[in-house]
Structure 1
Amino acid sequence: MNKPFIHCFETPKAKYFYDVNTNAIVRVSSDLYDYLSEGKKKHCNNGNIRRELETLEMAGMLSSEKWKGIEHPASQMLLENLNGSIEMLTLQITQQCNLRCNYCPYSGSYYNRIHSNKNMTIEVAKKAIDFYIKHSFDKREINIGFYGGEPIIQYDLIKKIVEYTEVKGEGKKVNYHITTNATLLDQEKISFLASHHFKMTISLDGPRELHDKNRKLMSGKGSFDKVMKNIQLIQKHYPDYMKEIMFNCVVDGQGDYGCLNEFFTNYDSVKESNTFFSDIAAEGIKDDDMLGYNEEYDKAYQYEVFKLLLSKCGFISEKEISPIVKSYYDVIKMRLKGRSEGYNYEDSGHPGGPCIPGIHKLFVNVNGDFYPCEKLNENIPEIVIGNIENGFDYQKIYNILNIGKTTQNECKNCWCSRFCYQCVLFSECGDRLSEKARLSHCEAVKSATENLFLDYCLIKEVEAEDNNIYFL
C-alpha cells in the first residue's frame, strides 16, 4: 500500500495512530504500530498485521490521499455571508488608556501601534453601526462591543452609541459587551452598564502582588486596589449584575501558581464568577523573556492538569480542581470529543484557525478602518479589510481567510492541519505578513495537538473495559 496519511503516537499503556482522512484516532497492536510508524509501503508478510490492515482499510482508513490545493470552504459563500451575517461589531472608541500594562500590545513591547490620544467620533461610530446593521439583516440579535485603550474614558460616547443603537436596531435584541480595567468605574457608570445588561469583562491578574506586577497606572503605582474597590461596589449595590461579569486573567508564568490559584478559588469577590485565563501573547512581542513558565509554575500547572484528568475519570471530586486549568478539558471536548469522523476527502481544504474575517467579528478602529479583530497589528496594510466609507475590501478578506495558501506545500502534507489554530495573527512579522513567521509556529501547534490526543486517550483508557482495538 502507499504510505498512509497518519500520525502515530503512544501513551504509557497503548499505541495509536490518527488517521487524517477519516479524522479518527485508532488504538492498534504493538506490531501494527511499529509497522505503521516505520512508514512501510510494501506488502506485509506478517499475517496478523495484514489482517489488521485489511480491517482498517475496509473501514476507509489508511488512505494516502492529501489535498491537492488549499482553499477555505467558506470562500464560495464569502460575499453572501459578508452582506448579511456579521455577528459582532467591536468599536475601538479610544486609543487612550490610564494604565501602562507591561504585556499590552500597545505598551511598546510589541510591533504594534502605541497608546495615543485619539478617540472615535460619534459620526464614525454611527456610520459603523449603520454598516453593521445593514450587513446583519439575517441576525435576530446584534452585538456591539466597546474596546480601547480603556473604553470607560469615553463613557459619554458609550451612552450616545447605546442611544443611537437602540433606535437603529429596533426590532432586534441588542447585546452590549465591554472590556475594561475597572479602575474608572463609579456608581453612575455601573448603574448605566447594569441597566443596559452590558456583558462586562474585567481585567484582573490575581492577588495584589501578581496583578500589580504588570498592571500599573501611568504613575507607576499598581491598580489592584482600585479594581477591587469597584468590584466590591458592584457586589454591594448590584449583586445580580455580577452574573453578567467575567474576569480575564493574563497569566504571568514567572509568578506563583499557588498564590494565583488560591485567589481565584477562595477570594470572596471573584470566586463565584467566570474567569478566563490566558498566557501573555507571544505574537509580535519584542522580548521573549516575558514569555513562558518558570520551572515551579510549570510543575504546579501540570500537576493540576493531571488532577483535572483524574476528576474526569471519576477518581477525585471536581471541587478539588484548580479554576486555572478547568477550561483545558473544554478544549479537549471541543476539538476531539465533538469532532466528526468518516471518510470525506475533498480535493481542496484549509487548515483550521481562520475565522471568516468580518463575520465572526468586525473591529472598527477610531478612524473607521475595518479589521478582522482587535488582536491584530493595525500597522499592517494587508489586514485592513475596508472602512466605513467604502465598505469591505473583498480581496483582502479572501486572502486572510485563505492565509494557508502562503504555506500550502507544508499545510497539504501536515497531519495536524485539521487541528491547526493559526489565523493571520500568527503570520504577523513587524509591519507585514510573513510565510516564515507562520511556519515558525508549526512545531508548537503540533506539540500542543499531540498533548491533547494523549490526554484524551488517557481518559478513554481508564473508561475502557478491554484492550481490544477500538476507534475513538
Structure 2
Amino acid sequence: MKLLEYKNYYVFEDGCKKYLFDSFYMECVEIRESLYYALKKKDLRQIDKHSMKILNYLKNNGRFFSNNKADIVNSNNKKIYISLAPVTKCNLRCKYCFANYGGNNINEKKEFDSVTLEKIADYFINTFNEVYDFRLDFVSGGEPLLDVKLLEETLKIFRKKFINKNLEIFLCTNGTLLNENACKILDKYNVNLGISIDGSKEQHNLCRIYENGLGTYDDLYKNYMNLKNNMIFSNHLKSIWSLAVITSKTKSLVDLIKNNKKIGFSSIQMKLVRLKKNNELVINESNINNVYKMVNELVEYFYICVKNNKIDDVLFFVNDNDYFGKIIKRLILKEVYVYRCHAGKEKFAITPVGDIYPCDSFVGMKRYVLGNVYRDYELKRVFNDLDVDNRLKCKSCWCRYVCGGDCLHNSLCTNGDVQESDEVFCLIVKHTIKKTLVRINDLEKCVPDYLNNLRQLLRVRYSLNKV
C-alpha cells in the first residue's frame, strides 16, 4: 500500500505551527511547513529526501502510516451499570432537565416497590452471572432524596442481593434535601455521593431553580457545608464529586472548576447540555465561538497546571466522566475508544414497571425498550454495533478513536437519528483535541518529567477503577 493511502494520519495547524497526528496510536509531532502542505495535498513529489526518509521511518515503525490499531480500551468492558430513579419526580425545575422533572416516565407506576427492586437485582445477577463488578447509579430521572425511606429500601435490597459481587453505588442529588437523616443512610450503605452544582451562585441560579423560580444555590451550599463539617460522617461520604451542566449561558469552564474545587469537592464532571435545537440554552452554531474560547482557556489552564507541577488541580477535572477531561486523559494516556459510553451494551436504565432502556435519557421512548425484567430473558442489543467504525459520520473521521462518537441521545435530540452525530458536538470535540495535542506536545518538550508523573498517576487511578 502506498504511503498516502493509509487512513490513520491527519495534519493540522495551530497558529504558525504544523502537526502530524496518528489517530490509531495517539502520537503527535510537529512537522515542517513543506511536509504539512505535501501531506495535506496528498502530493509528496516536492518534499526533500530528508523528509521522505522520516516518513518511511515512521511507516516502517508502524506509526502514522499503518493499518495496525492500538489496543481498544472499552471494547470488552467487564462491569455492568444499572441505573434507576427510585422516585420519578423532582422538587426543582431546572431549565435544561432532559428528564422533564421525572415526567419522561410515561407509565402509571411512578415509584419502585420492593418486589420490583428484588426482581431487577435478580435479573441482572442471573443475566450477567459471569460478571463480578457492578455499579448502581441514582443519577437522573428524579430527585432520589424525595423519598429516603424508599431509597434506603433500595440500597438494602441491592447490598443484600449483590453480597457475592463487587457493587459500587453512586448517587447524584440536587443537594436541597441533603439533611442529616439522608446522610446517615448514604453513609451506612457506602454510597459515592455527588451534587449537581453549576459553579458560582450567580451561574448556578441561572438554570437550577425551584418551581417558584427562586435559585437553589443557598440551600444546596448550606446542606453541603453541614455535611462536610459534621464529624459523625465518614471521609468517604464527604469526598463528594460535583456535576455541572454546560449551556449557552456558561461563562467560563475554568471559573467553574476553580469554584467547585475551592469549596471542597473532590472532582468535577462537566457535561454539555442535551436539548432540542430551538432551546435558548443549547449550544449551536450561533454561540459555538464562545465554547471555543472556554476550551482554549481550559487547555491553557491544564498546560499551566502541569508546567507548574500542580497535578492535583489537573486531576480534579481530568477523568472519564468529564466531557473535556476525558479527552485530555485519553490523549495523555494514548487510549483508543470505539464508543462513547456503555449505553445499551453494559449500561441499562430500569423503570418501576421493569422496562429496560439503554440509559436514563431514553426512558419513556418505547421504541428503545430493550426488554423487561419480568418477562425477557434476553436483552435486545440495538446499540451493540453503533461504534465509531460503524456510525455513518464517525467511521471516516480522523478523531473517532479519541472521541468515541456523539452521545446517542444527543444525536437523537439534534438530528432525530442515533446514527447521525450532532455537527456542533463534532466541532467542539475536534477543537478540544487539537488544542490539547498542541499543549501536550509543548509539555513533552519543556516538562517531560511532570507530564510523565501525571501519566503515571492517571494509570494508577484507573487501574484502581477510581473516578
Interval containing the TM-score (normalised by the shorter chain): 0.7 to 0.9
How is 1:63-462 mapped onto 2 (pairs within 5 angstroms)? Answer: 63=65, 85-107=78-100, 118-147=110-139, 148-237=141-230, 238-241=232-235, 242-252=237-247, 254=249, 257=252, 260=256, 263-266=259-262, 271-291=263-283, 302-303=296-297, 305-314=299-308, 331=326, 334-339=329-334, 352-374=338-360, 376-389=361-374, 390-399=376-385, 401-402=386-387, 405-407=390-392, 410-422=393-405, 423-429=407-413, 432-438=416-422, 441-462=425-446
Change (3 A) 1:22 1:202: closer
Could you list the per-position Cα deviations for residues 289-334 of structure 1 after superposition, in whole angstroms to 9, with x for gaps in the alignment? 44377988975764453243123223x7568889678979954553
Q: CA separation in 2, counterparts of 1:162 and 1:146? A: 10
Could you list the per-position Cα deviations for residues 184-242 of structure 1 after superposition, in whole angstroms to 9, with x for gaps in the alignment? 23222221111221111111223333222211122222222222232233134345344
Change (3 A) 1:36 1:198: same
The amino acid that maps onto 2:4 is K
Find the residue that maps to 1:405 and give its secondary structure. Answer: coil
Greater gyration radius: 1
Q: Contact conserved, 1:124 with 1:367, CA < 8 A, in 2?
A: yes
Q: CA separation in 1, counterparts of 2:258 and 2:25? A: 43
Find the residue that maps to 2:155 and give its secondary structure. Answer: helix
**Following TM superposition, by how much is the alpha carbon of 1:7 offset from its aligned partner in structure 2, in angstroms?**
0.9
Task: Give ranges in structure 1 of 5+ residues lacking alignment.
Answer: 342-350, 466-472
Change (3 A) 1:456 1:289: same
Find the residue that maps to 1:250 and give its secondary structure. Answer: strand
Q: Contact conserved, 1:411 with 1:417, CA < 8 A, in 2?
A: yes
Could you list the per-position Cα deviations for residues 123-182 of structure 1 after superposition, in whole angstroms to 9, with x for gaps in the alignment? 222211111222343444433223431111232222222232333223334432211112
Change (3 A) 1:301 1:146: closer
Q: Contact conserved, 1:111 with 1:431, CA < 8 A, in 2?
A: no
Whether 1:53 and 2:87 are equivalent positions in the alignment is no
1:348 alignment partner in structure 2: none
The amino acid that maps onto 1:249 is A
**Following TM superposition, by how much is the alpha carbon of 1:104 offset from its aligned partner in structure 2, in angstroms?**
1.0
Q: CA separation in 1, counterparts of 2:40 and 2:103? A: 42
Q: CA separation in 1, counterparts of 2:428 and 2:144? A: 34
Q: Contact conserved, 1:213 with 1:222, CA < 8 A, in 2?
A: yes
**Following TM superposition, by how much is the alpha carbon of 1:243 offset from its aligned partner in structure 2, in angstroms?**
3.0
Find the residue that maps to 1:367 and give its secondary structure. Answer: coil
Q: Contact conserved, 2:133 with 2:166, CA < 8 A, in 1?
A: yes
Normalising to structure 2: TM-score of the pair? Answer: 0.77
Could you list the per-position Cα deviations for residues 431-459 of structure 1 after superposition, in whole angstroms to 9, with x for gaps in the alignment? 95254455664444333322232222222
Q: Contact conserved, 2:257 with 2:268, CA < 8 A, in 1?
A: no
Q: CA separation in 1, counterparts of 2:178 and 2:384? A: 40
Q: Which moved more, 1:205-214 or 1:92-101?
A: 205-214
2:464 alignment partner in structure 1: none
Could you list the per-position Cα deviations for residues 256-286 of structure 1 after superposition, in whole angstroms to 9, with x for gaps in the alignment? 54875664354xxxx2321314244135454
Q: CA separation in 1, counterparts of 2:248 and 2:381? A: 40
Q: CA separation in 2, counterparts of 1:431 and 1:21? A: 28
Alignment size in residue pairs: 434
Task: Give ranges in structure 2 of 5+ residues lacking alignment.
Answer: 450-467
Which structure would you say has the larger RCO, counting Cα contacts within 8 Å and 6 or more residues apart?
1
RMSD: 4.1
Q: CA separation in 1, counterparts of 2:104 and 2:111? A: 18
Identity between Structure 1 and Structure 2 (%): 21
Find the residue that maps to 1:213 and give its secondary structure. Answer: coil
